[in-house]
Chains A and B, each alone.
Chain A
Amino acid sequence: MLPRTPRRRIALGWAMGVLFLAAVTAPAVGISRDESVYFEAAEGYARFWVDILRAPSQAVPLADRAFSVNREHPGLAKEVFGFTHAVLSSGLGLTSHAEGFRFGTFLFAALLAALLSVWGHSLCGAWGGVLAPGFFFLVPRHFYHCHPAVLDLPETAVWFATAYGFWRSVGSGGDRPRSGRWAVGTGLFFGASLAVKHNGWFLLPLLFACWLLSALPAAFREGPRALSARFPVALLAMGILGPLILLAAWPWLWHDPVSRLRAYFVFHLGHENYPWMYFGTLLRAPPFPVGYPFVVTALTVPAAILVAMAGGLSQSLGRIARALRGGEGVSLPTEVLLSANALFPIALISWPTVPHFGGVKHWMPAMPFLALLAARAVVSAGQILWPRRPGLVIGVLAALAFAPAAWQVAHTHPFGTAAWNELAGGASGAASLGMQRQFWGDNMVGVLPALNDHAAPGARVWFQEATWLAVREYQRDERLRADLAWANGPEDADISVWHYHREFLDKEFRTWTEFGTTRPVAGAYLDEVPLVQVYARPGAWR
């Protein structure tokens, strides 16, 4: 049964489309280091929730055992992964193990697509609903993040949902009456955000600041009472429901919430700095370049989409200025909310002491807001430039933005962590610029067929950046031969899988020494740039 309104139909279409496309393209994506740990955690968490139904009195000891795995992140996303895996893979046998876990991410991606479409529709009509998700999902790195069962896309989705709920709760920027139901919904989404990843903690102060900035002009006009009269119930709901949901969804906290929460914060406040390439320099320790997230965004988002996002952000900032000057027809709360959410996550990572690694994923919560603004900018341009036939202008602009982006998505798949845009010159241009070539170890997927075809029976393989858990998952899903054994270094390996990382070059050269050869037997390349190369001892490759 289809939804009745076009708004909902477009949103449902996007959600189903993203879900389908992610599911179809996921098998090609390799298992990253983090993902392999989340698989392990997710399976244990799902088992815990089943066990607790059988023995509720054993909840705390069971929780401690199950949730000690990957306790540096809260449980919700991994519980969703565990649930989808339990149903689709273990229960119904419909999917592989990896696909079962990843279905959780597909669901978050579908939620994000639907919300983007709905909000886009609210902001600028049907074209907004059609275009907004495209501006997000046609960025190759975002498309990549729709696949792995990791925390970044789920966090982006629930962050966006929280902001959307907040916007609805305060009356959609003044277009509708305030909604208590959406205030509760905001609290629930905020709780989900806290329960997925620590980024969520920034949402409450950010949304409070957005409200305050929007309410200040009225406070100046009408006095401070205007502030208390307009205080959003959603912020209260967030303050109450958020911690409760975090606690409910993360049984690791049940035993000793205070000290475990403290340990959680201490871990993230002192997070290790992984070495990271940036214009030929290996960044190892702070202070990091302030421009890093801005530059990396500019070199990874397809250029036309980047322009649309920049144009949309400029338009929103211009509208804020107009509203502050008393201009009519502009919703200051809406513009402040959109602009602040589009800028804050990027600005946060630009802080010189915040670890700079992981490509764009750490500021990905900003990107749906930029996508939304991009869609509105394109729609506005069409309406202004040709008021009688805006659809034609919008269609042409959207095609010019989306066509090269779609090509880039297809071209770089499944090596999403290695995707760079045309301004960087693609993967090869970025390699010449000295940018980070890849991360997470999942691009080993490109040499799995060669390993399966050519490795000698029982060969010991040094997988390097791929974790033991990832290798086990590949073997469990029959993507890697079960007879291939784990080696700890080149000394006890017959085959070595070298993942290009500048900081680990010594691993490649030790392999040359140990194997007596500098000649790889296979490799995975993107635009001729080596991502993974396989070396073998004489006789180990047939």
Chain B
Amino acid sequence: MSDRADYLGPTYKLGPPSPPPPTRGEVWKGRIRGLLFPPRPELGAFLFAAALGALGAYGLWFSFTLPGRFPSRIDWRAAAALVARDAQPGDAVALSPPWAERAREVLPERLPLRPDLPLPILAFPSYAAEDLPGIRRVWLVSLPRAPGAASRIARELADRSSSVDGPQPLGGIEVTRYELREPERPLYVFPEQLASASVQVGDSACAPDARGGVRCPGRGAPVVARETREIDFLPRTCIRVSPSGDPGRPLTLVFPDVPLGRTLRGHAGIAGSAGLGSAVPVRLRVSVNGEGLGEWEEAPRASGWRRFELDTSKYAGRRLQVSFEVTAAKAPRFAFCFDAATLP
């Protein structure tokens, strides 16, 4: 090789560019590829043992800590004592998680100071859109450390509240009191006043039966009763009706002397799963002093506690007769349920 410089001077041709330095991601990719390929039994055995060891250790931790994540009997008693001492008319208890229904066994069912008034215990999965008529304050009894516990119910109640008191820890239980921002104070709750209603099928009057309901004459002996029934997997206290199956002979419930406000709100649904196999729609017609206010049809093969709301503002402040007329083309094999209340 000559030491002399090229007579044309330095070459004008650039050599190939040197490859850019690998990025950090490429370095790791290469390392991982080198680790995994070709597959080696040692690596497989190590990953297997690591996964087994990690989950085994987690299983041990889970096992040893599980009992401490639930309330003891004394915790439940403390929660019961707290609620019993401070609960007032218009209060209700909500459970979180909703399956924590041991509360029903432990907490008072009625207000200790007013045994004539119930203390409802609610186990709804959500309170965001749930109507809570007559409830001013909610005591949330929660199991915060239980596996599967979530704060959603607390958040939903907080969103509806003007003030929150707590949470008060009682061992494995927390109790929090929520003052609802806009409590609904119904003027008249129809299921609670069923005893004052007159019931008839067509022109035939129905008579009270021995079980606190009303039994009507005629085919199928239609029944009207105030019951708590399962509708869409939740307990709903309602007026249970089994219509006659003759559209010409509607089942009519007449409530005299009902104080009316601006709204009549209700819900309707089919109890249990019996409606799923039925093809019979049920119609509910609401009238005030004989004047039609609205109509509702409960479709067959549907589940749900569907809400209806009727404008009664033109009757607001008056006490009038309200009637509910229930008809079905055929006598259904399910129980139709509805509730209603007048609101200011």
Which residue from chain B places its CB closest to the CB of A408 in the assembled complex?
Answer: B63
Contacting pair A400 B52 (CB below 8 A): yes
Which residue from chain B places its CB closest to the CB of A402 in the assembled complex?
Answer: B56
Say if the beta carbon of A216 comes within 8 Å of chain B: no
Contacting pair A302 B59 (CB below 8 A): yes
Say if the beta carbon of A218 comes within 8 Å of chain B: no
Interface string of B204-231 (1 = CB under 8 A from A): 0000000100000000000001111110
Q: A426-B66, A513-B227, A528-B143 are in contact. Are A506 and B271 (CB under 8 A)?
A: yes
Which residue from chain A places its CB closest to the CB of B125 in the assembled complex?
Answer: A280
Say if the beta carbon of B45 comes within 8 Å of chain A: yes
Query: Which residue of A432, A509, A519 is within 8 Å of B109 (Cβ)?
Result: A519
User: With a CB–CB cut-off of 8 A, which chain B residues contact A345?
Assistant: none
A518 CA to B228 CA in the complex, in Å? 10
B9-17, B147-155, B174-182: which lies at the interface? B147-155
Contacting pair B58 A303 (CB below 8 A): yes
Q: How far is the CB of B97 from chain A (nearest CB, A)?
A: 5
A496 CA to B6 CA in the complex, in Å? 108
Contacting pair A528 B102 (CB below 8 A): yes
Contacting pair A308 B52 (CB below 8 A): yes
Interface string of B66-82 (1 = CB under 8 A from A): 10001100000000000
Q: How far is the CB of A362 from chain B (nearest CB, A)?
A: 23
Say if the beta carbon of A510 comes within 8 Å of chain B: yes
Contacting pair A381 B148 (CB below 8 A): no
A491 CA to B209 CA in the complex, in Å? 14
Interface size class of B (residues with CB under 8 A): 35 or more
Contacting pair B42 A429 (CB below 8 A): no
Q: How far is the CB of B57 from chain A (nearest CB, A)?
A: 7
Interface residues of A in 365-390 (CB under 8 A from B): 377-378, 380-381, 384-385
Contacting pair B233 A502 (CB below 8 A): yes
Contacting pair B45 A385 (CB below 8 A): yes
Say if the beta carbon of B85 comes within 8 Å of chain A: no
User: With a CB–CB cut-off of 8 A, which chain A residues contact B134?
Assistant: none
Tell me the total A-B contact number using a CB cutoff of 8 A.
162
Contacting pair A384 B42 (CB below 8 A): yes
A491 CA to B225 CA in the complex, in Å? 14
A506 CA to B147 CA in the complex, in Å? 27
Say if the beta carbon of A401 comes within 8 Å of chain B: yes
Interface residues of B in 14-60 (CB under 8 A from A): 41-42, 44-46, 48-49, 51-53, 55-60
Contacting pair B52 A304 (CB below 8 A): yes
Q: Which of B147, B228, B234 has the most CB of A within 10 A?
A: B147
Q: How far is the CB of B70 from chain A (nearest CB, A)?
A: 5
Q: How far is the CB of B106 from chain A (nearest CB, A)?
A: 9
Q: A422-B62, A422-B63 are in contact. Are A509 and B229 (CB under 8 A)?
A: yes
Interface residues of A in 417-451 (CB under 8 A from B): 422, 425-426, 428-433
Interface string of A287-323 (1 = CB under 8 A from B): 0000000000000001110111001000100000000
Say if the beta carbon of A527 comes within 8 Å of chain B: yes
Say if the beta carbon of A58 comes within 8 Å of chain B: no
A528 CA to B44 CA in the complex, in Å? 40
Query: Which residue of A381, A509, A530 is within 8 Å of B99 (Cβ)?
Result: A530
Contacting pair B60 A404 (CB below 8 A): yes
Say if the beta carbon of A173 comes within 8 Å of chain B: no
User: With a CB–CB cut-off of 8 A, which chain B residues contact A306?
Assistant: 55
Say if the beta carbon of A94 comes within 8 Å of chain B: no
Which residue from chain A places its CB closest to the CB of B62 in the assembled complex?
Answer: A422
Say if the beta carbon of B101 comes within 8 Å of chain A: yes
Say if the beta carbon of A51 comes within 8 Å of chain B: no
User: With a CB–CB cut-off of 8 A, which chain B residues contact A302?
Assistant: 59
Contacting pair B59 A422 (CB below 8 A): yes
A304 CA to B60 CA in the complex, in Å? 10
Say if the beta carbon of B319 comes within 8 Å of chain A: no
Contacting pair B228 A527 (CB below 8 A): no
Contacting pair A529 B99 (CB below 8 A): yes
Interface string of B101-143 (1 = CB under 8 A from A): 1101100010000000000010000000000000000000001
Q: Which of B53, B101, B148, B150 has the most CB of A within 10 A?
A: B148
Say if the beta carbon of B146 comes within 8 Å of chain A: yes
Interface residues of A in 495-542 (CB under 8 A from B): 502-503, 505-506, 508-510, 512-513, 517-523, 525, 527-530, 533
- What total of chain A residues lie within 8 Å of the partner, measured CB to CB? 61
Say if the beta carbon of A227 comes within 8 Å of chain B: no
User: With a CB–CB cut-off of 8 A, which chain B residues contact A505?
Assistant: 230, 233-235
Say if the beta carbon of A407 comes within 8 Å of chain B: yes
Query: Which residue of A304, A381, A508, A520 is within 8 Å of B105 (Cβ)?
Result: A520
Contacting pair A530 B63 (CB below 8 A): no
A399 CA to B52 CA in the complex, in Å? 10
Contacting pair A512 B235 (CB below 8 A): yes
Contacting pair A527 B101 (CB below 8 A): no
Contacting pair B109 A518 (CB below 8 A): yes
Contacting pair A393 B148 (CB below 8 A): no
A396 CA to B60 CA in the complex, in Å? 13
A525 CA to B49 CA in the complex, in Å? 36
Q: Which of B60, B63, B211 has the most CB of A within 10 A?
A: B63
Say if the beta carbon of B272 comes within 8 Å of chain A: yes
User: With a CB–CB cut-off of 8 A, which chain A residues contact B46?
Assistant: 385
Which residue from chain A places its CB closest to the CB of B276 in the assembled complex?
Answer: A284
Say if the beta carbon of A52 comes within 8 Å of chain B: no
A429 CA to B150 CA in the complex, in Å? 11
Contacting pair A307 B52 (CB below 8 A): yes
Contacting pair B48 A506 (CB below 8 A): no
Q: How far is the CB of B21 from chain A (nearest CB, A)?
A: 37
Say if the beta carbon of A403 comes within 8 Å of chain B: yes
Query: Which residue of B146, B147, B230 is within 8 Å of A509 (Cβ)?
Result: B230
Can you list 21 A-B pairs, Cβ within 8 angstroms, ordered by A?
A303-B56, A307-B55, A397-B49, A400-B52, A400-B56, A401-B52, A403-B56, A411-B63, A422-B59, A431-B99, A432-B149, A432-B150, A433-B148, A510-B227, A517-B109, A518-B109, A518-B121, A520-B104, A521-B105, A523-B105, A533-B105
Name the 10 nearest CB pairs between A and B, nearest first: A432-B148, A400-B56, A404-B59, A425-B147, A506-B230, A304-B56, A429-B147, A506-B272, A384-B45, A422-B62
B residues whose Cβ falls under 8 Å from a Cβ of A: 41-42, 44-46, 48-49, 51-53, 55-60, 62-63, 66, 70-71, 97, 99-102, 104-105, 109, 121, 143, 146-150, 211, 225-230, 233-235, 271-273, 276
